Amino acid sequence: MSKPLIANSSPIENPAGTAANEWRWADRIALLLTTPLFVVVLAMKVVCALKYRVNSDEPQHLHVVWGWANGLVQYRDIFDNHCPLFQMLYAPVFRLFGERADIILPMRMTMLPLFAACIWCAYRIAAALYSRRAGLWTALIAAAMPGFFLTSTEFRTDNLWAVLWLFALLVLLSGTLTPKRAFLFGLVIGAAFGVSGKTSLLCVTLLLAAIVVLLLRCFAGGARIEWRRLLSCVPAAIGGMVIIPGALVLLFVALGAWRQMYYCVVGHNILPGYIRAGPLRAYGERLLYALPVVCGIGWLIIRFSANAGLGARRALVVLWAAFYLTALWRYWPDITKEDYLPFYPVLALAAAPLLFVPEWKRFRWRYGVVAGQALALIAAMVEILWMKDSGYLRHDRTAKDIRPVATVLRLTKPGEYVMDLKGDAIFRPRPYYYVLEPFTKQRIRMGWIRDDIPERLVATRTAVVFAGSGVIGFGGALPFIAANYILLRESEGRLEVPGKLLTKDAAAASPAPISFDVAIPARYVIVAPDHLVAGVLDGTPFSGARFLEAGAHEFRPTAGQRAPLALFWTNAYEKGYLPSFSEGSDGKRGND
């Protein structure tokens, strides 16, 4: 039998519940210390949900959830390049809150149980592999990791994805692998596939890590590997894995949306030659050369654990974390911060034993247990204090994204179209099928997707363009939007409505006729910065609002009018809005 690195009486070497009585007081101390810190982290999480800036993915997910809640079918009626399970599950919750501009806030609150579930899984895994107190400190450190804390605040599919992955690891690592356990593991992995196609990267790296662990276990000696039982688990895992994805496929076949589903989830996201990773590619290359060192660490973990089976499970955690990060940085085409959500808690799990070095047999001294918990406490406090002083909890950065949605709801009725980048308006249909995200823009540049946004705006008589951070996101449609829509005054979300500047400067006392074209048929008024303008429009007196068909028009203002003039959508004017009369140096419209 291999010699254990850690004394058998230490709970770092024995799973939770098997430690000797002399160590149980340390578990109670850990519980006493971590409980108030968990409360602090949860309170910070609630504040962060109410104040943290809105990511562009959040309204995109909410728009798809809105579609399900209103009888629309994902992929067939609404484009989305994510798997459907998350949006389907949250549609009933969405309906409870109704049509409200701040829908992002209550829906973010529904992410808190998922955050708690991730932390619970981290605790259970660490407790199964090491000890109860290791589980408590690991869970706390994972919860307060800034990257995990902030990204999991957002309303996004990846939160459920992370929960399912961690629960799958819990199933896999909490005991001896049997066909029953393998089936449950596969079932949870299948649910993760139903939430995100990125589960493929998780599974590939886990499979590689498992193969390496088996090889290392052979070299490390210890208990004999039961290959027959191990191989019998493979079909059980595969059988469980296909159930939920298969049911989802059958559902969309029945809804007549299978082809659209396949394109959106698979075809659209596979773009040969597309890479958006920046300097992380170089870091991934370096990690490749470091993998032999990680494998050596895995061998040591197996060699010096109390038993080879427990050591293999511990090594699997460390190796998967290294393999996943390497594969993500080196090979994944589009790296985003949410890709790290299932990684952060596992990183805390992989590092957990290092916090308890003073308790190891070869380093242990009389007060080693106290020193180990002190190290864990310092690590957790550093994270919490960093979050407290980072500014994310002090300043409300959600209002600037909520106000434009409120304006859209005032200006439009249910069923009226709003053109936005990714579903920013949430509650309104989009005239253009595709969301304008990196893969779509690249496909448009390559000529694989037709950019017919101007035609769709005209065909649907779209009266509101929600440009978010800037109209530049509309690419080739920008000239059409700039020529036929005008920015609302003081519109933080760059809301534009039908209209245009007729004169940029004060008009002369007896101005010449002003010729202009209309592309979006609608009712219009002609306004100065602070009043309606009268005159002669298309040869007839004009002093209020008039419906204008698409085509050329001519307006002669009343003599003496000395203000810049703008054609403006009547509905916006009647709701109390005015156009912006200013232009930036680059020709884009700014705010007054």
| 413 lies in some domain | yes
Q: Tell me how far apart the alpha carbons of residues 122 and 118 are, in angstroms, rounded to a whole number.
A: 6
Alpha-carbon Rg for the chain, nearest whole angstrom, is 30
The CB density around residue 483, as the number of other CB atoms within 10 Å, is 12
- pLDDT of 1 above 70: no
Q: Tell me how far apart the alpha carbons of residues 409 and 424 are, in angstroms, rounded to a whole number.
A: 12
Residues 243-301 have pLDDT tens digits of: 999 999 999 999 999 999 999 999 998 887 777 666 777 777 788 888 899 889 888 88
264: closest CA among 165, 197, 190, 192?
A: 197
Residues 483-498 have pLDDT tens digits of: 999 999 876 668 999 9
- pLDDT of 459 above 80: yes
| 444 lies in some domain | yes
What was the pLDDT predicted at 449?
92
Q: What is the 3-state secondary structure (H, E, C) of 299-346?
A: HHHHHCCCCHHHHHHHHHHHHHHHHHHHHHHHHCCECCHHHHCCHHHH
Give, in order, the Cα–Cα distances in Å from 543 to each of 522, 532, 535.
Answer: 16, 8, 6
Pairing verdict, β 418-420 and 464-466: parallel
Residues 150-173 have pLDDT tens digits of: 999 999 999 999 999 999 999 999
468 or 315: which carries more pLDDT confidence? 315
Query: Mean pLDDT, to the nearest integer, of 379-399?
Result: 87
The CB density around residue 259, as the number of other CB atoms within 10 Å, is 13
| 77 lies in some domain | no
Say how many residues make up the chain.
Answer: 592
Q: Tell me how far apart the alpha carbons of residues 151 and 157 are, in angstroms, rounded to a whole number.
A: 11
Lowest mean pLDDT among 56-70, 171-185, 238-252: 171-185
Quick one: which H or E segment has residue 567? Answer: strand 565-569
What was the pLDDT predicted at 281?
74
* CA atoms in the 13 A half-sphere facing the CB of 548: 28
| 289 lies in some domain | no
Instruction: Indicate the pTM of the whole model.
Output: 0.89
Compute the CA torsion angle 353, 359, 363, 366 (nearest 10 deg).
160
What was the pLDDT predicted at 277?
63
Give, in order, the Cα–Cα distances in Å from 334 to each of 16, 325, 327, 338.
Answer: 39, 14, 12, 11
Q: Tell me how far apart the alpha carbons of residues 245 and 254 are, in angstroms, rounded to a whole number.
A: 14
The interaxial angle of helices 199-220 and 179-195, nearest 10 deg, is 150
| 367 lies in some domain | no
What was the pLDDT predicted at 513?
86
Q: Tell me how far apart the alpha carbons of residues 135 and 157 are, in angstroms, rounded to a whole number.
A: 26
The CB density around residue 226, as the number of other CB atoms within 10 Å, is 11
Q: What is the mean pLDDT of the chain?
A: 86
- In the chain, the number of structural domains is 1
What was the pLDDT predicted at 105?
96
What was the pLDDT predicted at 410?
94
What was the pLDDT predicted at 325?
94
- pLDDT of 10 above 60: no
Residues 396-447 have pLDDT tens digits of: 899 888 999 999 999 999 999 999 999 999 999 999 999 998 889 889 988 9
What was the pLDDT predicted at 229?
79
Range of the domain at 484: 400-574
| 511 lies in some domain | yes
What was the pLDDT predicted at 53?
92
| 324 lies in some domain | no
113 or 350: which carries more pLDDT confidence? 113
Q: Tell me how far apart the alpha carbons of residues 555 and 541 are, in angstroms, rounded to a whole number.
A: 10
- pLDDT of 520 above 70: yes
| 518 lies in some domain | yes
What was the pLDDT predicted at 199?
96
